[in-house]
Structure 1
Amino acid sequence: MWEALIHGIVLAFGLILPLGAQNVFVFSQGAVQPTLWRAMPVVVTAAFCDAALILLAVMGVSLIVLSLAWLKTLLYAIGVLFLLYMGFLTWRSRPNLEQTQTELFSPKRQVMFAASVSLFNPHAILDTIGVIGTSSLAYSGSAKWAFTIACIIVSCIWFLSLSIAGRLVGGLDKSGKLLRGFQIASALIMWGMALYMAWNLFAPGNLSYGE
C-alpha cells in the first residue's frame, strides 16, 4: 500500500506541475482577490473537479463516457466557447491599487471559470484517463484507494499552495504590472487551448478515438 501511496503522490505532482490555464487562473485569482479567503471558491472548485476526474478515471467511468463520439464533440465545443469567453474577460481585467470589489470576479464567476478550465481541459482529461486511470490498474483493494487518495490530496494541496503564492505576489506587486502580466499569460493560454480544442473538434478523425 505504501508503494501505491508514494506512486500516487509522485505521479499526481508530475502531472499537475506544468503551467496551464487551470494553474494560471488559480494563481491569478489568489493574487488579485483582496484576501486569501476570497479566492477559496477557485481553490475548492479546481480541487473538486480534479478529484472527480481522478475518481472517474480510476473507476473506468470516464473512459466509457468518452467513448461516445457525440459526447466528446459536445464537450469540446462547449470547452472552446468557454475558454474563448474566459480569455476575453481575463484579458479585459486591469488589476491596480484602486480596483474596487465590483471589478473582481464574484464567487459565482470564480466557480464557473475554475470548473471550465478544469473540466473542459483536454490535457487534464487525457492525463487522468491515460495516465492516472491506466496506472491505477496495477493496484487493487486498499492499495488502489491509497493511490487514488494520494492523487487527490496532492491536487488539493497544490491548488491551495498556488493561491497562497498568488496572494504573496499580489501583496508585493503594488503597481499591478506583474499581475497584469499573469492575466495576459492566462488569457493567451486559454485562447491557445481553445484553438487546440477547435483543431481537435474540426480536424477529420481527431475525435474518433475510442470508437
Structure 2
Amino acid sequence: MISFFAGLGLGLSLIIAIGAQNVFVLRQGIRREHVLVVVVICALSDAVLIAAGVAGLGFLLETVPWLVDAARVLGAVVLISYGLLAARRAWLGGDQSLSVANAEKRTGRLPAVIALALALTWLNPHVYLDTVLMLGSIAATHGEARWLFAAGAMLASVLWFTALGYGARGLARWLNTPRAWRILDALIALIMIVIAISLVVPLFE
C-alpha cells in the first residue's frame, strides 16, 4: 500500500496547483451547472492519461532496465523543480486567489461545457507532462506495484475534482484568501521534495 499512497500523495500535489482546468471546475461548481459531467470528464481523462503513461513507460523500462535509474533521476529533477517553484510562490505569494463574483459568469450550455472541459484537459501540455511522463516514469520505479501507484494517482484526481466541483462554494471562499494559497503551496513543495529524495535514495544504497 506504500505505492498506492505514494501515488495518491503525488497525484494530489500535482493536480491541486491552480490552473485553467481547476478554475473552470470551480466556477462550474459555484454555479452548480453540469458539475457531474465536468467532474467525470476531468477525472476520467486523467485516469486514461495515467494508465497510458504507466503502461507505455512501464513496458519500455522493463525492456531497457537501466532506464529505471534514469527515470528516478528525471523524476527527482522535475519534482524538485516543481517543488522549488511552489516554495517560491509560498514565500513570495502571488495573484492566485479566486473571485466568487467572477465565477458567477455563465459558461454556456452542456455541449459548450463538455467541449471546454475536454479542451482544457487534452490541449494542455502540462497535463501530459504530469500524467504520462511524470507519473508514468515514477510509477515504473515501483516495479510490480506500479499499478497500485497509478490507482492512487487516479483516486487523487477523482477526490480533487469531486471536492472542487461539489464543494466549490465553500472552497471558493477559502481559496479566495492569498494566505491560504501560500500555505497550500508550502505543503505541495514539501510533498514534492520529499518524494524526489525518496526516488534517488535507492541509487546510493
**Residue type at the aligned position of 2:142:** Y
The Cα of 1:169 is off from its aligned counterpart by: 6.4
Report the CA distance shift for 1:60/1:169 in structure 2 as closer, same or farther (over 3 A).
closer
Aligned to 1:115: 118
Aligned to 1:43: 39
Deviations 1:31-67 (A, max 9, x none): 1236xxx311111101111111111111117xx9xxx
Deviations 1:152-182 (A, max 9, x none): 0110110010012324468x8xxxxx9xxxx
Moved over 6 A (4+): none
Structure 1: distance between partners of 2:121 and 2:107: 21
Query: Aligned pair 1:23/2:22, yes or no?
Result: yes
Aligned to 2:168: 166
Aligned to 2:142: 139
Query: Aligned pair 1:54/2:46, yes or no?
Result: no
Aligned to 1:208: none
Report the CA distance shift for 1:135/1:32 in structure 2 as closer, same or farther (over 3 A).
same
Report the CA distance shift for 1:95/1:15 in structure 2 as closer, same or farther (over 3 A).
closer
SS at 1:60's partner residue?
A: helix
The Cα of 1:129 is off from its aligned counterpart by: 2.7
CA contact (8 A) 2:31 2:103 kept: no
Structure 2: distance between partners of 1:144 and 1:169: 32
The Cα of 1:30 is off from its aligned counterpart by: 0.5
Query: Aligned pair 1:125/2:135, yes or no?
Result: no
Structure 1: distance between partners of 2:53 and 2:131: 6
Report the CA distance shift for 1:138/1:22 in structure 2 as closer, same or farther (over 3 A).
same
Aligned to 1:12: 11
Aligned to 1:202: none
Structure 2: distance between partners of 1:94 and 1:148: 32
Q: How many residues align?
A: 132
The Cα of 1:107 is off from its aligned counterpart by: 2.3
Aligned to 1:192: none
Aligned to 1:189: none
Structure 1: distance between partners of 2:28 and 2:169: 8
CA contact (8 A) 1:136 1:144 kept: yes
Aligned to 1:79: none
The Cα of 1:110 is off from its aligned counterpart by: 1.7
**5+ residue gaps, structure 2:** 61-101, 177-205
The Cα of 1:19 is off from its aligned counterpart by: 0.4
With structure 2 as the length reference, what TM-score do the two structures score? Answer: 0.57
The Cα of 1:104 is off from its aligned counterpart by: 5.0
**5+ residue gaps, structure 1:** 65-92, 97-102, 173-177, 179-211
Deviations 1:113-145 (A, max 9, x none): 11111111111111113310110111233x122
